[in-house]
Amino acid sequence: MGLVKCSDCGREISARALFCPGCGAPREAEQASPPSERKSKTVVPVMGIIAVGLGLASMAMPYFAAVFFVPATFICGIIALRQGHRILGKISIALAFLGLITIVFVSQQIGDPQQVLEGLLDKLRSLR
C-alpha cells in the first residue's frame, strides 16, 4: 500500500495506519476510511442491468426467441444477486418467471403445429 505524510510531523506513514507511529497524531478521518468501501458504492451493476434488459426484451420477443431469453435472464439475475445487486437480481428473476409463464401460456395457445397449419389453410379456403 502507499505511503502518506503525517499532517503533524511530516513523517511518511502507511496509508492504512490510523495513527502516526512517530508522533501519535490521528490521521484525518477522510483518508482513514477503507478504499474498498468507496469502491463498492460506485460499482456499476452491469450483470443486473443486462439481466433486467434481457427480461424486458423477452417480453417483447416472439415465442421462439423468448425460450432463449428467459433462461439467460434467469442466469444473469443469479449472477447479479451473487454480486450483491439484490434489487436488480430480484427484478430479473421475477421477469424470468413471468417470461416462463408467458412461454407456457403461448405454447398451449399454439398447440399442435399441424393443427395450426390446417386451421390457417381452412381460413384461406373460406376466404375464396
User: Site for Zn ion (CB under 5 A): which residue of 3, 8, 15, 28?
Assistant: 8
User: Site for Zn ion (CB under 5 A): which residue of 3, 9, 32, 101?
Assistant: 9
Nearer to Zn ion, 27 or 85 (CB): 27
Dihedral angle, C-alpha 24, 28, 32, 35, nearest 10 °: -150
Q: Is residue 23 involved in binding Zn ion (CB under 5 A)? A: yes
Q: Is residue 116 involved in binding Zn ion (CB under 5 A)? A: no
Q: Is residue 21 involved in binding Zn ion (CB under 5 A)? A: no
- What SS3 class is residue 14? strand
Considering CB under 5 A, how many residues would be counted as binding Zn ion? 8
CA-to-CA dists, residue 19 to 5, 67, 117, angstroms: 11, 59, 80
Q: Is residue 22 involved in binding Zn ion (CB under 5 A)? A: yes
DSSP 2: -
- What SS3 class is residue 125? helix
By CB under 5 A, name the binding residues for Zn ion: 6, 8-9, 11, 20, 22-23, 25
